[in-house]
Amino acid sequence: MKSTGIVRKIDEVGRIVLPIEIRKALNIDTRDAVEIFVDSDQIVLRKYEPSCIFCGNADNVKMFKGKLVCASCAKQLSK
C-alpha cells in the first residue's frame, strides 16, 4: 500500500470524503458502490464489481434465482 499523504476527518455521522483525484484514478463515480473490508487494524475500500458467486469472475454475470452467476458457471450448472 502506498500513502497519498491525504488526511480526512470523519464527520458527525461517520462519513469521509474521498478526494476527487483518488476517485478519478480508481474510476469511482457518484453513486457507485464501494465495498468495505477490515484487515487487522486497517479499513480497505474497493469499488464494488458484481461477480459470480462460484468462481468470482466479474465478466458477463447474470442474475439467476437472486444470485450472480457467470456464463461459464451457468453452462456447467445446466449439465
d(CA 21, CA 27): 10
**Average pLDDT per 10 consecutive residues for the chain, totaling 79 residues:** 89 96 93 94 91 91 91 88
Residues 6+ apart with CB under 8 A from 47: 26, 27, 28, 32, 33, 34, 35
Q: Are residues 3 and 37 in the same domain?
A: yes
Domains in the chain, number: 2
**CATH, residue 35:** 2.10.260.10
| pLDDT score of 41 | 94
Q: Are residues 63 and 42 in the same domain?
A: no
Q: Are residues 32 and 9 in the same domain?
A: yes
| pLDDT score of 64 | 87
| pLDDT score of 28 | 95
- What is the domain range of residue 65? 50-79
| pLDDT score of 44 | 92
